[in-house]
Every structure is written in C-alpha cells, then in structure tokens.
A and B are shown apart, each in its own frame.
Chain A
Amino acid sequence: MTVTSPVAVPMDVPPYRLSGTVYGVLLNHRSALDALGNLVNDSPYRGAPRAPVLYIKPRNTLAVSGVPVHVPSDAPELEVGACLGLVLGRAAARLAEGDALEYVAGYLIVNDVSVPHSSYYRPSIRHKARDGFCPLGPRVVPRAALADPGAVTLRVFIDGVLRQSASTAGLLRPAARLLAEVSEFMTLAAGDVLALGAAFPAPRVRPGQMARIEIDGIGCLENPFVGDAA
C-alpha cells in the first residue's frame, strides 16, 4: 500500500512495513479516567467505557521525528499525547491475552497530538485528524528490545523541561489485554500501529516550542510546533 501523507513518512522500515493505519484508544491510562471523576457517571457518558473506545489517526496525520506540527490558528495550544505504540507483525484476530504479544513485531513512540477538547461524547475529528497530528518514530524497535511493555516509562519534555513522566504500568488495559479485546471485533493487519493511550494531564505546547518524548530502549521523538502559516 502506498501511504500518502502531506509529509513524507517512510513506511518501509525493514524488516517492518507500516500499513499507515494508526489506532488510538481513549481513556486507557488510569490517570485519564480518574481525572474525569464522577463525570463519567453523568450525562452524556453514563458510565466508564465498557469496551475499548478506539479512534483512528488517518494517514494525513502521520509524520516523522523533526517535522514541524502546525498549531491551527483557532487553537492557542495543543496537547502532546505521549504513547507507546505497538506495531503488529501479522494479522491478528480473536487473540487470547496469553499469547497476544507474540503478534507484536515491535514498538515505537506515538505523539497523539490533539486540540484540547473537554467533551469525549462526540468530538469533531478536527481535534485529532489534522495534517501532521501524529508524529511517530523515531524507529521501530523489535519486540525483544523492551523486556516488559507494561513497565515502560515515557517522559515528555517541552523546550527541554520535563513536563510529564508516566508509566505504562498505569494502563487500564495493558498491551496484551487491549489486543485481545480489540481483535475480538476487528482484525488488526500487519503493520498497523496501536497506540496504548496517554496519561493525564497531557502537556500543552504552543507555537515556537519543541516537544520531545523519550522512551528508554526506543529513543526520542522530537517535533517543533509552529504557528499556522495560513
């Protein structure tokens, strides 16, 4: 498949080939759900998510490390959603949690950039699907490079200052369980990326600032944020 993005993203990174489809999952870090408090039980939500709530970062959002992210003129700042991303190594349907990780070829860092939005009911895709809103990389490391994807620390630096340090130990659905629950209703393809979810609060970034996400064993994903030229 040819992946078209406004910024060139090499999808062939042997031995991996990314499909160009990136899935994210809402409120999968305990801190993000906890931040909503009792609101989760009120209208319109009426209870915490029962099944994984997925969304898609389409191909126009994909970018690599170093590429500037444009902050739209109607948003003073953006959120940096630092996530560990799984790269599927083969088609995955109806996985058992016990062997789900065997379908993972490797890992990368995903910056799930969003326009801050307070309602999770039916938000516009304008908040998540703008061009360049999903830097990923800096490379895919093989699965063996991370001893335990459930004990990975993500650090976010804005202009060099540490603004967030979070662990995948806080995920409500850790990698294997999420793969099992998602592949129950949809098949993931080889090369798909599943971002495991960001911790709360996501650091904010303004035009002129630099966001860097570090994960030990993977490297760092660094993107400048710039004002909208338009």
Chain B
Amino acid sequence: MRVARVAYAGAIHAGEPCTLTDGRAGVRLIDGRVLGEEDVVWLPPLEAGTIIALGLNYAERARELAFGRQEEPLVFLKGPGTLIGHRGVTRRPADVKFMHYECELAVIIGRTARGVSRAEALAHVAGYTIANDYAVRDYLENWYRPNLRVKNRDGATALGPWLVDAAEVGDPGNLALRTLVNGKLTQQGNTRDMLTDVPGLIEYLSGFMTLSAGDLILTGTPEGAINVEEGDEVVCEIDGLGSLANTIVADRLFGR
C-alpha cells in the first residue's frame, strides 16, 4: 500500500496513487476525488518524530570525500522544520558555491524499538519513502559535523511522495536509487552498498536510544552528489518507491 499526505481544497487528505483517464499519474483522495499530481500540494508523507540521518554510509561516497573506514555509523539529527514534500521548492542562498542533493532511502519506524537485534529489526519498520537531504557545504565547519546550518535548513529535506508499506518493499537491501538533474542522470547506487544496512542501523541505534513510531532514518547517499543551481529540477528515484521531485529556487523569492 502507498499513502501520501496532500493538501487540497482547504484541507489535508490521505491519497493513494492512481492513473488518470488520459494516462497521466494522479492521486486518488480517500474520499474518492481523483486529481492530477500537479493539482495538489504534496506534504511529507508523515509528521516525523526524531529525524536521524547518516553520513558516509556508502563506501564509494566515503572514498569520494576521502574518509577512511569508520568505527561506527556517522549519525546526526535533524529537526522537523527541514522537511518538505514532493514537488516542493528549496532555497539556494545566493552567496554559496556548493549546494548538493542527496538521494536516500528513508526508513519509517512503525513500533517502539529498544535493544533490537538485526534479526528482529525489520519487524519494527512501518515503511519506506525517498528523501533528498540537501547540504550547503559552504557552511560546513569542523565542529559537531555536519552542523545544522549545513543540513537542517528550512525546506532542505524533501520527503515523499509516498509512504510505501514495508511489506510491499520486502528487502530494503537491494534497491537501486538514482538522481536526475534536469533529466540527466547524475547519481546512481544501490542500497546493497550501504556500509551499515537497514537492520544494522536499527540494531545500532536502538542499542542506545529508544526508537518510536514515526521516527525516520535517512540512510545516507551514494557517490555522485553534485552542485545544483537556481532553476534546476532535481528528481530522486528509488525502485519500488517512486520519484521525488524538487526545484531549486532563489533567495529573492524569500525577500532576501
């Protein structure tokens, strides 16, 4: 099952995917209304609890950034204000040189997990979605890396479009993912190349902190994160989860 949260005609609705009579992809609200993808405002598919993110969780990506083998997963936390839905826009500050996307498998916790073994880990997952976890590297400082000014900017973590049931996805350890910028393939990888896989991450995290329903784990990005500019359309895809679009917009739209 796939469920989205969308705003339409003055309210927030749950919706599921459908095909319109002309063949385009659409969304069917659970009250029966059938709408085009562009007719609704897509919200993040859940109101997230704790947002946990991974750095350097793909071997090639770690090599790209010249980091050696890590002793434990590199984890940081994000606040809820950074989330934005499918087809949203993300601001690129005018004075920066390097802002990049990060296509990531997002794991949604479904029930409380504390001290869970990797064998039991996937039973605590409600489902999955796609995340595009932007970073502005100009703001990177060498204190508590990566700091929130780099990774927790308003609207700089796109999430969606759908919350896809764990049962529908099956094994999260063999999903191809890719990013297209203005239709051109710029990043690709497969979740099988994670340094710590999804069961391993749940085991690791739940070993020292209680995970609750609605918590999110953004599992890191493979190599190929390149700079994006104002006007770029960035599409992150994961097999079986769909396609998450986002557009880079300028400071001036925000009166800056």
Contact = CB atoms under 8 A, between A and B. Distances in A.
Contacts of B114: 6, 131
Contacts of A230: 115
A185 B153 contact: yes
A21 interface: yes
Interface in A17-65: 19, 21, 23, 26-27, 44-47, 49-56, 58-61
A55 B148 contact: yes
Nearest to A72: B208
Given A56-B79, A58-B77, A60-B50, A129 B209 contact: yes
A60 B78 CA distance: 14
A201 B71 CA distance: 28
Which secondary structure characterizes the binding site on chain B? loop
Nearest to B71: A124
Interface string B50-77: 1010000000000000000000101111
A129 B142 contact: no
A46 B79 contact: no
Nearest to A20: B49
Contacts of A187: 81, 154
A100 interface: no
Given A4-B213, A55-B148, A129-B208, A49 B50 contact: no
Interface residues of A, number: 43
Contacts of B115: 230
Interface of B: 47, 49-50, 52, 72, 74-82, 112, 114-115, 139, 141-145, 147-149, 152-154, 208-214
29 contacts: A1-B47, A4-B49, A6-B210, A19-B80, A21-B79, A21-B80, A23-B79, A23-B148, A47-B141, A51-B147, A53-B143, A53-B144, A53-B148, A55-B148, A60-B50, A60-B209, A72-B208, A93-B154, A122-B74, A122-B145, A124-B75, A126-B72, A131-B208, A131-B209, A185-B139, A185-B152, A185-B153, A186-B81, A186-B152
Given A56-B79, A93-B154, A189-B81, 14 more contacts: A4-B112, A23-B148, A45-B143, A49-B143, A53-B143, A55-B77, A72-B208, A120-B143, A120-B144, A125-B75, A129-B209, A186-B148, A186-B153, A187-B154
Interface of A: 1, 4, 6, 19, 21, 23, 26-27, 44-47, 49-56, 58-61, 72, 93, 120-126, 129-131, 185-189, 192, 230
